[in-house]
Structure 1
Amino acid sequence: MKTAVSGVQIPAVPIVKFIYEVGFKKIVTRIITIASGKGGVGKTTVTVNLSHALYKLNKDVTIIDANLTSPNIYLHMNIPITPTTLHDAMKGKISIKEAVYLHYLGVKVIPASISLRDLKFKEKKNLTNLIVDLIGTSDFILIDAPPGLNEDTIDALDAGNELLVVTNPELPATVEALRVIEFTRRNWAKNINVILNRYSGKSWELRPKHIESFLEAPIISIIPEDENVKKAIVKRIPVVEAYPESKAASAFMKLAEKLLGIRRVKVRKESAISRILRFLGLAR
C-alpha cells in the first residue's frame, strides 16, 4: 500500500525512529496541554492540525498522545503500530526519548499504545517528570489530553505550562469545558485560552461572546465547520496539508500565528521530493 503526498507515492509507513544526537541543540520549549470537557468536540483534530501549522511556520513540534485508554493520534496521522510508546515510558521500561518518532510530514510524535495489554499499570510514572527529558528538544510540545477529568487528564493538565480548552458552540460541551477550566484554576496558575471548534453561526449555536462570558476565558480561535476536515480525517492527513486553502486550514494557521505572537510569516514550503529526502534522512 502506498500513500500519496503532493502526487508522489511514498512508502505507507509514515514515521521513523527519531534519534537524539549528542549535543542536540537546546531551545526554549513551550508545553501546551490541549484538553476538552467531553469527547467528540474535535480536540485531537485541533492538536494534529495545530502541530502541523506550527511546523509550517518553521517550528519544531512534538505531539504526545496522552490518551492512554483511547488513543487517536495514530488514526489521524496514519501512524502504524510502533515498537515503543508512551505506555512503555510511563511503565519505566524506556526513556520517553526512546518513544519519539518523526512523522513524514515533519512533526515528532510520541504515540500511545493501542494494545489492551498495556492498559494495566503496576506503577505509573508521572507525565510531568517524563517530559523534563524533552525540554529543549522542540519549540512546542503539544499534549493531547484525554477528554473529561479522569486521572490521566489531570496528569496531562499538570504537565503543561499552558492550557488550550477545545469546545463546540453547544451547551453540554461548554459546561464540561467550564469544569476543566475551573479545576485547572483551582490547582495551577496557567495561561488558559479557549478554541471554539466547528462553529457555523447557526441560530441555535451559542455565540462566541456568550461562551467567553460563561467560561471567563478568552476564545483565541474560532475554527469554522468545514467538510474538508472530515475529508482529511478519512485520508488520515491533517487538513492544513490535505486542503491548505480551506477555511479550517486558514483558521488553524491563524491560530498558530497567534500563539507565536506574529501576524504573518513565511510558510515553510517543500516539494514532494525534498520532503521524501528529509523523511529518508538524506536532507534537512
Structure 2
Amino acid sequence: MSHETVYAIASGKGGVGKTTTTVNLGTALAQAGERVAIVDTDLGMANLAGFVSLTPDSMTLHDVLSGAASIDDAIYSVTENIVAVPSGTSLDEYADTSPEGLREVVSELRDRFDYVFLDVGAGVNHETVLPLGLADSVILVSTPEPAAVHDSKKTLELTERAGGTVAGLVVTRTLPDSDISHEEIATRLETDLLGTIPEDAAARESVYAGTPLIVYEPNGPAATAYRQLAADLAGIDIPDSSGADEEVTELGDESESESSSAADSDGDRGEREAAHDDVSSAITEAESDS
C-alpha cells in the first residue's frame, strides 16, 4: 500500500468535478476493503451536509472545530467501509470555528482509517490553504479548459507555500476526439498526470440517482477511469463490476452493524447510518459552487 494515506482533493475553480472525484475515489477504495473517511474541509461553503442527510441538530465538523463536539460525534457511516465528516451550513456556526483544529482532526482520522480524503474548497483563504499542508499529498482536479488550468496553477503555488506536496493532476471531462494534450497540461503545471476522466453522461445521472458513479455505471468509461486512478494511488487491485460487492447499490442502504466495519474495534465511534435522500442535491451543489 502507498505510504500516502491522506489526500487533499483540490481545485482552484468550482465545477470541475472535485467532489465527484472525492466520492468515487473513496468508494472505489472502500469496495476494495479499505477503510475510508471523506472530510468536507470547505468550512465556509459546505457541500457534504446533504450527502449524509443531516437533521438541524446534527453534529458537524463545525462543532468539532468550535470545541462543542468530539470527532466521533461528527462521523457518519455512508456505506460499507466508508464514512463522511460533513461541515455545517450555518454561517453562525462557521464564525465559531477554529480552522487550526483541522490538524488534530486529520491526525486522529489518519490513525483510524486506511485512507482519508479532504474535499477542499475553492478560492484563497485560510481554511482552503490549511488542508493543503496537512495532507500527505494534494491531488489537483481540473477540466482541460484554460481558466480551470490557470486556477490549478494557483492551487499548486498555494500548496507549495503551505508546505504541502502535489501528487499530480487529474483532468476531468476529457473528450476522445479532442486535440488537447493532457500530458502537456500537466507539464505546463510542472506536475505529473495522474489520470484522465472522460466525459460521461452517466456521471450526472449517478448524481440524480444518489449513487456513486462507480456503483451506478461500473463499466462506463468514467467509472473505469476512477477505479484505475484509485488503484494507482493505493498500489492495490480494485475490483471491477464483477468483483464489487453487489449489495452496495446506494449510499447508506445497509444496516449500522454492517457499516461498523469501517471503524476500529476500540469502542464506540459515534457513527450513525446515513440516509441517501439528499445525495443528489449535495453533489450537484458541490460541483456547481465549490
TM band (smaller chain) = 0.7 to 0.9
> In the alignment, is the contact (CA less than 8 A) between 2:134 and 2:164 conserved in 1?
no
What are the within-5 Å matches in structure 2 for residues 236-247 of structure 1? 236-247=210-221
Scaled by the length of structure 2, the TM-score of the pair is 0.79
Which deviations, in whole Å up to 9, do the C-alpha atoms of 1:216-263 show, x marking residues without a partner?
111111000001000111122111111112111111100111012245
> In the alignment, is the contact (CA less than 8 A) between 2:227 and 2:238 conserved in 1?
no
Instruction: Show the counterpart of 2:165.
Output: 190
Aligned residue for 2:257, secondary structure, equals coil
Distance 2:130 2:123 in 1: 12
Aligned residue for 1:73, secondary structure, equals coil
Instruction: Show the counterpart of 1:280.
Output: 256
Which deviations, in whole Å up to 9, do the C-alpha atoms of 1:55-111 show, x marking residues without a partner?
111111000011112222244x45333611000011111222321111135411101
What are the within-5 Å matches in structure 2 for residues 66-145 of structure 1? 66-75=41-50, 77=51, 79-81=53-55, 83-104=58-79, 106-121=81-96, 123-145=98-120
> In the alignment, is the contact (CA less than 8 A) between 1:201 and 1:207 conserved in 2?
no
> In the alignment, is the contact (CA less than 8 A) between 2:31 and 2:239 conserved in 1?
no
User: Paired residue for 2:139, among 157, 161, 164?
Assistant: 164
Scaled by the length of structure 1, the TM-score of the pair is 0.81
Sequence identity percentage: 28
Instruction: Show the counterpart of 2:208.
Output: 234
CA RMSD of aligned residues (A): 2.5
Which deviations, in whole Å up to 9, do the C-alpha atoms of 1:129-176 show, x marking residues without a partner?
222222221100000000122221112212211110000001100011
User: As a proportion of its length, which structure holds more helix?
Assistant: 2
Distance 1:282 1:202 in 2: 44
Aligned residue for 1:149, secondary structure, equals coil
Whichever residue aligns with residue 195 of structure 1, its letter is V
Instruction: State yes or no: 1:211 paired with 2:185.
Output: yes
Which deviations, in whole Å up to 9, do the C-alpha atoms of 1:19-75 show, x marking residues without a partner?
xxxxxxxxx871110000111111011001111011111111000011112222244
What are the within-5 Å matches in structure 2 for residues 239-258 of structure 1? 239-258=213-232
What are the within-5 Å matches in structure 2 for residues 36-47 of structure 1? 36-47=11-22
| Structure 2: runs of 5 or more not aligned | 262-290
Task: Report the number of matched residues.
Answer: 254
User: Paired residue for 2:245, among 269, 274, 279?
Assistant: 269
Whichever residue aligns with residue 212 of structure 2, its letter is P
Q: Which moved more, 1:260-269 or 1:145-154?
A: 260-269
Q: Which has the larger radius of gyration?
A: 1
Distance 1:272 1:172 in 2: 37
| Structure 1: runs of 5 or more not aligned | 1-27
> In the alignment, is the contact (CA less than 8 A) between 1:97 and 1:134 conserved in 2?
no
Instruction: Show the counterpart of 1:225.
Output: 199
